Chains A and B, each alone.
Chain A
Amino acid sequence: MSTNVHPKKYRSQSRNRAVSLSVTYTILIVLGIVWLIPLAWIVLSAFRCEFQPDGTFIGRVTSNFFPKAYGLKNFKDLFGATYYGVPNAFLKWILNTLLIAVIDCVISTFLVLSVAYCMSKLKFRMRKPFMNISMIIGLFPGFMSMIAIYFLLKSIGLTGNPSHPEYSVIGLILAYSAGAGLGFQIAKGFFDVIPNALVESAKLDGCTSFKIFRRIILPLAKPIIIYQALMSFTGPWMDFIFAKVIIGADNAAYWTVSVGLYSMLFGTHPDTNLFTQFAAGCVIVAIPIVTLFMFLQRYYVEGVTAGAVKG
């Protein structure tokens, strides 16, 4: 197949390759545009600054994809506005979500790592039953227990508490992080790949299990720690159902940002004129999360691959 022997064939082959490559480029560019359109729509809506002839601002969904005028009015309005009687609500929601996300991230990551290490590297009697129970529990739809968690938290005053509405934040953190340990499978898959010989030889040298965990496993587990932290940190920014149910519809001062944004479109008093403000809020929420994802992409890929394709 060398060029000297079949010059003609080679040329046609390289032309074929060029054609197929350009077809690939075309498909990928078209797909890329399709994938970006909804995101572009949100960004464009956020910067949309159109007025009606009589001077009123247009904040609803418009039929023109590209705005006729751009401006920062939506962002200014978003931060200055009072929603549901809460002044500067958006800023409060963001800070609230940040608080919840940070605490959830620490607790969840710790729980997941400790369970995953036990399941992967320690041998004890309850290991298999524990794994089976966690798998069975994981098969129930999460919303089923959501209601019960709400009742439970309410009975101990951690949500819907008239004298301490701020306690529902604690309730939500508990709801997010308490069950995290049962989602150990991905981290376990990662630990499984760490050779057992490493653990055995450390044990022969007189290392305690705790020391092995701290000195050997944790340093090697950096990718999975970052993956778990990323997942549990971004969780509260993305979820809105749990937050809505646990914090409560009439507790707007302690909502997370997603509940707040969602309520702009479908709240108890939906205002069709808030779409552009909603879009501005989405842009503000999305920027830090997307940046995190892009920086930690490698770990994210490693995590999802470790969890899904074992065996």
Chain B
Amino acid sequence: MDSRKAIDSKTKKNLPGFLEPVGKAFSEFGKRFADGSLGTKLSHFIFGAGNFYHKQYIKGFLFLLLQAAILWFMIFCPSINGTPYGYKALLNLPLKNLSEGGDFDPVTGHFTAGSDCKLMILFGFVTIAVIIIYFMVWNMNIKSSFKADMDRKVGKKPTTFKEDLKELLDSKFHITMLTPTCIAATVFTILPTIFMIALAFTTYNDQDMNNLGTNLFHWNGLQNFRAVFTGEGSLGVEIKNRFMPVLGWTFIWAIFATTTCYFGGIILALLINKKDLKGKKFFRTIFILTIAIPQFISLLAVRNLLGEYGPVNAMLMNWGWIKSPIGFLGLNNGDSEILAKVMVIIVNMWVGIPYTMLMTSGILMNIPADLYEAARVDGTSTAKMFFKITMPYVFFITTPYLISSFIGNINSFNTIFLLTGGGPAYTGYQAGGTDLLVTWLYKVTIDQGSYNTGAVIGIFTFLITATITLVTYRRSKAYNEEDTFQ
């Protein structure tokens, strides 16, 4: 034990903080190999050997099975749609040349054309994930054998398979509970995200590939990111000319959408919770209706209400206020961009105010009544009470909500997509006047098939939201004292 501690303190001294766990793992690894029984030593090469040594047959067999399966996967490279997994996938991952990659055809001596580069990248990352899993299982198998060694040493019997299973419901319960999520989230969230990040560094763009008459693409480094500032590439000019305006509008939108809904919601909550007001529940229900109804219904209703042939324009025309329909939402070319922007913010209030109202109702009722009583005795005006008592109190408690709703608004896809579709459109450009980064990302990838550009926009969006989160959340009490709260 002493030697271990010595190594520990040594690694701690010499390594920077983030490497500490790595150093620790290595020192642990060396110790296990040196101190372990023959079984443990063998376990480093054959999974489950240590368990067989300690007569834990089922466990050993499971480890062995896993090792065999992964090795089979790595060596025999099962393939889907002609794209292989395993070591071939690792070889494919560099995608060095347009004409190479894919499965090797021994007859012609060439790689098969018609291979799918996006699958090569995807499968490459899957294979890397499998390798990581291999080493995790490897570590688990050594650990399990070493534990049996230790049990033997102190005269205990190594645990039986039944006891191990029981352990999974008690001291290792977190493993049981987290495994489904870890697997599912790795496959359906983490892997896809990494894959899309990777696409930002490729030439994967349907337009380019159609022009070249190929379905293969290659890595191109930071070129797509450079295109945002220089305008090179097939979508380059579009990206360069529209990036800054869209980014700016995304911020303006997020600021206005967050603040209008926030203050509007608080004021609405104050009105509804006013003393002596009857029918509180009735009013609250009306506003909750807009939350309960799917947004694609309510927003499309608003869109048609305000549309060219809708009742609002007809009414204004009947009254003689306007001669021809107003394009409130910028659905036609030539409609006012400013008007469309103002309208989305206003309509968004209709969507967002009820949320804040719900959220703050409870908080408002918790404000100590004697604060108001004291202010009233001093003859403070209602407005002053609002700014000096209500707002500071509510603001203090709802800061996390304010941050998350700001980030939510940056990523607010539905409101823009359903209301204006990003319009008014610019001829020749994908991003219209009210497009946010996310709706632009959608248009560029789904409509245009320009996956690399879409990925670049996505990464920029991430950088923005991540910066905001880092700066605000990590400083907040909620994050730092997360586990002391209880």
Residues of A in contact with B (beta carbons under 8 Å apart): 17, 21, 24-25, 27-28, 31-32, 34-39, 41-42, 60-65, 110-111, 114-115, 117-118, 120, 122, 124, 127, 130-131, 133-137, 139-149, 151-152, 155-156, 174-175, 177-182, 192-193, 195-196, 208-211, 213, 234, 237-238, 240-241, 245, 258, 261-262, 265, 275, 278-279, 282, 285-286, 289-290, 292-294, 297, 300-301, 304-305, 308-311
Question: Which residues of chain B come closer than 8 Å to A177, judged between CB atoms?
Answer: 184
- CB pair B485 A310 closer than 8 Å: yes
- CB pair A152 B310 closer than 8 Å: no
Q: Which of B277, B292, B486 contacts A294 (CB 8 A)?
A: B292
Minimal beta-carbon separation of B319 from chain A (angstroms) = 13
Binds A, one of B30-38, B174-182, B221-229: B174-182
Q: Which of B118, B188, B297, B455 contacts A286 (CB 8 A)?
A: B297
Q: State A25–B282 Cα separation when bound (angstroms).
A: 12
- CB pair B441 A63 closer than 8 Å: no
- CB pair A192 B485 closer than 8 Å: yes
Give a binary string over B447-486; 1 marks a CB under 8 Å from any A CB, 0 the rest. 0000100110010011001100100000011110110011
Q: A34-B350, A114-B180, A143-B413 are in contact. List 11 more A-B contacts (CB 8 A).
A: A39-B301, A64-B311, A111-B184, A118-B178, A133-B190, A151-B195, A152-B187, A152-B192, A181-B180, A192-B486, A208-B173
Chain A residue, CB-CB nearest to B467? A139
Chain B residue, CB-CB nearest to A121? B486
Q: State A37–B298 Cα separation when bound (angstroms).
A: 10
Question: Which residues of chain A come closer than 8 Å to B272, judged between CB atoms?
Answer: 28
Q: State A311–B294 Cα separation when bound (angstroms).
A: 30
- CB pair A143 B445 closer than 8 Å: yes
- CB pair A137 B193 closer than 8 Å: yes
Question: Which residues of chain B come closer than 8 Å to A144, judged between CB atoms?
Answer: 192-193, 196, 441, 454-455, 458
Q: What are 13 A-B pairs at a CB distance below 8 A?
A: A35-B350, A37-B305, A38-B298, A145-B196, A148-B191, A152-B191, A177-B184, A178-B189, A182-B189, A286-B294, A300-B358, A310-B478, A311-B485
Binds A, one of B7-15, B93-101, B154-162, B395-403: B395-403
> Known contacts A24-B277, A36-B289, A41-B305; is A147 also within 8 Å of B445 by CB?
yes
- CB pair A304 B359 closer than 8 Å: yes
> Ordered nearest first, which 5 A-B pairs have the shortest CB separation?
A311-B478, A181-B181, A63-B314, A148-B192, A293-B292
Say whether B274 faces chain A, with CB atoms less than 8 Å apart. yes
Chain B residue, CB-CB nearest to A66? B311
Say whether B296 faces chain A, with CB atoms less than 8 Å apart. yes
Question: Which residues of chain A come closer than 8 Å to B455, judged between CB atoms?
Answer: 144
Give a binary string over B299-321; 1 marks a CB under 8 Å from any A CB, 0 the rest. 01110110101110111000000
Q: State A67–B261 Cα separation when bound (angstroms).
A: 33
Q: State A134–B181 Cα separation when bound (angstroms).
A: 11
> Known contacts A39-B293, A63-B311, A308-B400; is A147 also within 8 Å of B355 by CB?
no
Q: State A140–B458 Cα separation when bound (angstroms).
A: 7
- CB pair B350 A301 closer than 8 Å: no
Question: Which residues of chain A come closer than 8 Å to B188, judged between CB atoms?
Answer: 145, 149, 152, 174-175, 178-179
Q: Which of A111, A114, A178, A210 contacts B187 (CB 8 A)?
A: A178
- CB pair B438 A238 closer than 8 Å: no
Question: Which residues of chain A come closer than 8 Å to B354, judged between CB atoms?
Answer: 35
Chain A residue, CB-CB nearest to B350? A35
Q: State A178–B189 Cα separation when bound (angstroms).
A: 8
- CB pair B286 A36 closer than 8 Å: yes
Q: State A65–B479 Cα separation when bound (angstroms).
A: 50
Question: Which residues of chain A come closer than 8 Å to B458, judged between CB atoms?
Answer: 140-141, 143-144
- CB pair B301 A42 closer than 8 Å: yes
- CB pair A178 B184 closer than 8 Å: yes
> Known contacts A41-B305, A62-B309, A209-B170; is A147 also within 8 Å of B451 by CB?
yes
Q: State A289–B297 Cα separation when bound (angstroms).
A: 12
Q: State A152–B121 Cα separation when bound (angstroms).
A: 11
- CB pair B404 A237 closer than 8 Å: no
Question: Which residues of chain A come closer than 8 Å to B363, judged between CB atoms?
Answer: 309
Question: Which residues of chain B come closer than 8 Å to A120, judged between CB atoms?
Answer: 486
Chain B residue, CB-CB nearest to A293? B292
Chain A residue, CB-CB nearest to B403? A308
Question: Which residues of chain B come closer than 8 Å to A209, judged between CB atoms?
Answer: 169-171, 173-174
Question: Which residues of chain A come closer than 8 Å to B305, judged between CB atoms?
Answer: 37-38, 41
Question: Which residues of chain A come closer than 8 Å to B397, judged between CB atoms?
Answer: 309
- CB pair B311 A21 closer than 8 Å: no
Q: Which of A131, A179, A241 contacts B442 (CB 8 A)?
A: A241
Say whether B230 faces chain A, with CB atoms less than 8 Å apart. no
Question: Which residues of chain B come closer than 8 Å to A28, judged between CB atoms?
Answer: 271-272, 277, 283
Question: Which residues of chain A come closer than 8 Å to B411, judged between CB atoms?
Answer: 141-142
Question: Which residues of chain A come closer than 8 Å to B482, judged between CB atoms?
Answer: 131
Minimal beta-carbon separation of B314 from chain A (angstroms) = 3
Q: State A27–B270 Cα separation when bound (angstroms).
A: 12
- CB pair A39 B289 closer than 8 Å: yes
- CB pair B171 A114 closer than 8 Å: no
Minimal beta-carbon separation of B123 from chain A (angstroms) = 8
Question: Which residues of chain A come closer than 8 Å to B274, judged between CB atoms?
Answer: 21, 24
- CB pair B180 A111 closer than 8 Å: yes
Q: Which of B180, B195, B292 contacts A148 (CB 8 A)?
A: B195
> Known contacts A145-B193, A290-B292, A290-B293; is A151 also within 8 Å of B181 by CB?
no
- CB pair A293 B477 closer than 8 Å: no
Q: Which of B81, B277, B296 contacts A155 (CB 8 A)?
A: B81
Say whether B380 faces chain A, with CB atoms less than 8 Å apart. no
Q: State A65–B171 Cα separation when bound (angstroms).
A: 64
Q: Which of B173, B190, B400 has most A Cβ within 10 Å? A: B173
Say whether B132 faces chain A, with CB atoms less than 8 Å apart. no
Q: State A133–B358 Cα separation when bound (angstroms).
A: 30
Question: Which residues of chain B come closer than 8 Å to A155, judged between CB atoms?
Answer: 80-81, 83, 119, 122-123
Q: State A34–B166 Cα separation when bound (angstroms).
A: 59
Q: State A137–B186 Cα separation when bound (angstroms).
A: 11
Q: Which of A64, A145, A278 contacts B189 (CB 8 A)?
A: A145
Question: Which residues of chain A come closer than 8 Å to B295, judged between CB atoms?
Answer: 238
Question: Which residues of chain B come closer than 8 Å to A27, judged between CB atoms?
Answer: 271
Minimal beta-carbon separation of A154 from chain B (angstroms) = 9
Question: Which residues of chain B come closer than 8 Å to A309, judged between CB atoms?
Answer: 359, 363, 397-398, 400-401
Q: Which of B181, B277, B294 contacts A111 (CB 8 A)?
A: B181
Q: State A150–B283 Cα separation when bound (angstroms).
A: 43
> Known contacts A28-B271, A38-B301, A141-B411; is A147 also within 8 Å of B180 by CB?
no
Q: Which of B118, B191, B398, B441 contacts A141 (CB 8 A)?
A: B441
- CB pair B438 A141 closer than 8 Å: yes
Question: Which residues of chain A come closer than 8 Å to B174, judged between CB atoms?
Answer: 118, 122, 124, 127, 209
Q: State A261–B469 Cα separation when bound (angstroms).
A: 36
Q: State A179–B479 Cα separation when bound (angstroms).
A: 22
- CB pair B298 A39 closer than 8 Å: yes
Minimal beta-carbon separation of B70 from chain A (angstroms) = 18
